[in-house]
Chain A
């Protein structure tokens, strides 16, 4: 019996690869296994190789596995493209229809299973993915009855017969596979999981759910990979709360419409990826100078320009911190897990209103689209704080004077009234302005307003700005990362520790303003600092050096080929330093 394994299904895009992985993983989730799924796909609807790699474990996993135990192939290209990932003793389950071959028989065993033929015999070749699911389940020793509920949910509306046929296809696939395996059936039987119900979702689901729980009732957005799932979820759910989503004509409209709605008092978000964020930059500056709260999600993908639109990268960091001309207060939060993405969205809306500034929630493709098992989200942790929002009646201002919406205060945050409030009239403008919002170019006023705005973030309160895993007072190496690299770093850390290297780990969650106070002692107490990031120029390392110094001991571990870090890559690169 084994406690974890890695499974991958591959074939041509549009041919049911997605649903094979989906059904298989939902069943595993129901049985109580922890999962981590990552899809390889292209920017096209049909055709082109696609695959879905799923790691299955009886304990929490947060990274793609280094290697592969089982490869399910719907075409030869899948075998040729992925065979190198198979571990010694792995297996390939391939559709017998294309006469599959494997390049190295000493490494893995090939099982040709007539996916298409079995499915055709049962009624339609479309069910070949169900046959593959059945075959995979047999290898793991899963109880096939778990699929009854799953198949019912997916095909129930198509009628009992379709449900029955699909179940039959799963059983037939399992039966065929068991016969093929013979005595080898013991090889990859999975230990039983605890059977507990857990959420299984992509990061974008958690972001959308977090927005809903955080009080967002409106969204303006433009479709883009890998952010669209956020708007798609909210399009379904917001009407239940009286809200709605507008799909705008472009990202500039999305951002400015969200600014308008936030100005009027509704918690509103927009979400996009690099190209959209580039278009939003001027509007982000507007939110900054007008002190309008707004939450913007940036799901990073490969850049620049269209770059690698369906691939992993973390190269928007500098743009998110410094983007927009001029200088504004801005908060950048980078969750590293799906759970954090949920809570960070709630907090993002609170911070946006408390500090009256744009908040960017930064994710990456791996976090946004990777599907993982999530420990329960706690309802009691959801809190709504609206800062200095003025409610109730306001005193009349004589002589048509204006409300001091931009009053210079000690903490820099001014009272905020919403349009529609009597005696609250004031002007809002992207032009430098005085305390009532009227344009002003007076030097002293400029300094007062600039200082007031920038002062707001001096004492920002953010729960756990750095997720730390500190085992040593003095470490040989401190590994630093952000967003989805957390799992790979944690696994590399375990292996380095086994080699006798003392490792501390800091995963930065509040990117800006930079948590210097938390990071400095960690950097000081480490002999070397390794910053792991999916970009070519070491953006996080540069920010770290800029804020905490110690440039001489900061080393880069970079990957920018479009693929996420694997644990062994982080391990090997760190190991090379010793």
Chain B
């Protein structure tokens, strides 16, 4: 019984240690983002990458800019977004969005389409499909 209890305590301690470690990694991630933003004077926007069938969809939240000012560069496995950011908020100086993303799959750069609506940039790209077409019998 005492052995079981000590084993249970060991497991709980290990869970707590792992939880704390995850929290530290998370906090380190936030610190790096904020540190980089302060050093470079740029803003890392919130972004998401989704894979949908033969498409790769990337969205980024870029409030305070305009469609014409967004500088978007793509290659087969890489994407860069740059745009000015104007904020009327107090204590927030005019900055610049900067986002570099290594894409999870290769894309056809010439297929890329982008739109900007209500502060959100959406980029759609066709995935580069390599391989042979096989006839199903």
**Pair from one complex:** no
Using CB atoms and an 8 Å cutoff, list the residues of chain A in contact with chain B: none
Using CB atoms and an 8 Å cutoff, list the residues of chain B in contact with chain A: none
